[in-house]
Amino acid sequence: MLVGNGDGFVSCDCGRRHWGLFGAAGLLLSDPHRGVLLQHRAGWTHEGGSWALPGGAVQPHETSAQAAARETEEETAVPGEAFRVLAQRTDEHGSWRYTTVLATTVGDAAQPRVTNAESTALRWVPPADVADYPLHSGFAAAWPELRGQLDRRLVLLVDADTVLGAQPGGRDARAGAVARLRDRLAVLAGVGVAAGDLGLGAVAGAAHWTWWPHVVLVAGGPAAGSGSGAGVGVEKAETGGSGDGRLVTVVPGTRPAEPGDHLVAVTTDDGRRGQLGADAVMAPEALWRLLDACTPG
C-alpha cells in the first residue's frame, strides 16, 4: 500500500479501531460470467485469512470511488477502464466510514493478479457461494444487502418536454434548450445521486446508497437527434395514444432499463408510472434542484 495522508488508524465511536483517517473504501467488482472478485487477505492484515474486497484508505484528495479504483489497481492490476461504477453503499460510524463501490466489468480487460503482499489470492466467486467463504466481518454483515444490487443500474428516463416546458423562440431555441439540459444531465451522471433524492426509498438501506445513473433524455419533435453527452443518450420520442403529445410512452429500440435495473422516470404525470414500468417517478422541479446543486446556473 502506498503511504499517504489518509493512512493510519482511527479510534471509532463504535469502540473499535479502523484503518483510514478519512475512511476507507473497497471495490465490489462483478462479472456476469465469472462472479464477484474476492481477495484472500494476508495473515498480517486486519482479520487476516478472511476473504473480502480489494480496497484501503481514502486519501484527502479522493472520493470513495476514486480510492476504491486506485486501491484495486494497486492490489489486483485491474485498471479503472476495465469496469464501470454503478453505485456505492456507505456504512457510517460517525467518526469513520466504509464505502463499498459496486462496479461491473467492461469487456475482458479485468484480468486480476496478486500484485502486493496484502493478498495471498484473488478469486472470482459466484454470488451464491460468497457466504460460504470465511468473510471479513464487515463484508459479511453488508453482503446480503450488497448482493441484491449486483449489476443493477439506475436508469433515469427524462422527458424533455415536461422538464423544459414551453420554450419561446422556435426550433433552434428548443434544440438549444435540450442540448443544455443534456449537458447538465451528463454532469449529474458523473457526480452521482443519493437514492433518497431519486425516490428509491424501497431499496434496502436506501439512506446508505448513491447511484451513478445512466441517463436517457427523451426529446420529441425538432429537438430530437441533438446528439449525446457523456453518459446521456438522446432518444427520439414516440407518443402514445393519449393525445397529449408530450409524455413519452414508447422509446424506439431497446428499453433503456434492463430487467433488474432501477428505472426512475422524470415526468409530471404520476399516473404513467405503470405504463413506463418505473420504480419511481420524479417531478421536474426535483430534478432541477439536483441539477442546480451540481451544475449551478
pLDDT for the residue numbered 7: 72
pLDDT for the residue numbered 220: 65
- For 31-40, 77-86, 165-174, which range has the lowest pLDDT when averaged over its residues? 165-174
Count of other CB atoms within 10 angstroms of residue 248: 26
Is residue 51 within 8 A of residue 74, CB to CB? The reply is no
Cα 55 vs. chain centroid, distance in angstroms? 17
Q: What is the pLDDT of residues 126-167, one digit of tens each?
A: 999 999 999 999 999 999 999 999 999 998 988 888 888 766
47 pLDDT band, cuts 50/70/90, is: confident
Q: Domain extents for the chain?
A: 9-147, 154-294
pLDDT for the residue numbered 171: 66
Is residue 148 within 8 A of residue 193, CB to CB? The reply is no
CA–CA distance, 182 with 155 (Å, rounded to integer): 15
Is residue 133 within 8 A of residue 125, CB to CB? The reply is yes
Question: 41 - beta bridge partners?
Answer: 119
Provide CATH code, domain 9-147: 3.90.79.10
Reported pTM: 0.82
Rounded to 10 deg, the angle between the 284-294 and 170-191 helix axes is 70
Q: What is the pLDDT of residues 71-124, one digit of tens each?
A: 999 999 999 999 999 999 998 777 778 999 999 999 888 999 999 888 899 999
Q: What is the pLDDT of residues 48-67, one digit of tens each?
A: 789 999 998 888 889 999 99
3-state secondary structure the chain: CCCCCCCCEEECCCCCEEECECEEEEEEEEECCCEEEEEEECCCCCCCCCEECCEEECCCCCCHHHHHHHHHHHHHCCCHHHEEEEEEEEEECCCCEEEEEEEEECCCCCCCCCCCCCEEEEEEECHHHHCCCCECHHHHHHHHHHHCCCCCCEEEEEEHHHHHCCCCCHHHHHHHHHHHHHHHHHHHHHHCEEHHHHCCCCCCCHHHEEECCEEEEEECHHHCCCCCECCEEEEECEECCCCCCCCEEECCCCCCCCCCCEEEEECCCHHHHHHHCCCEEECHHHHHHHHHHHCCC
Rama region for 169: left / alpha / beta (φ>0; ψ in -120 to 50; rest)? left
pLDDT for the residue numbered 239: 46
Q: What is the pLDDT of residues 224-264, one digit of tens each?
A: 444 555 567 666 555 443 434 333 433 444 456 677 888 88
pLDDT for the residue numbered 4: 58
Average pLDDT value for residue range 256-274: 76
- Closest-CA residue to 237 (of 229, 274, 225, 19): 225
Q: What is the pLDDT of residues 182-222, one digit of tens each?
A: 899 989 988 889 888 887 776 656 778 999 998 888 876 54
pLDDT for the residue numbered 99: 94
Is residue 192 within 8 A of residue 210, CB to CB? The reply is yes
pLDDT for the residue numbered 248: 40
Higher local confidence (pLDDT), 23 or 224: 23
Asked if residue 294 has pLDDT above 50, the reply is yes
Higher local confidence (pLDDT), 18 or 193: 193
Higher local confidence (pLDDT), 18 or 80: 80
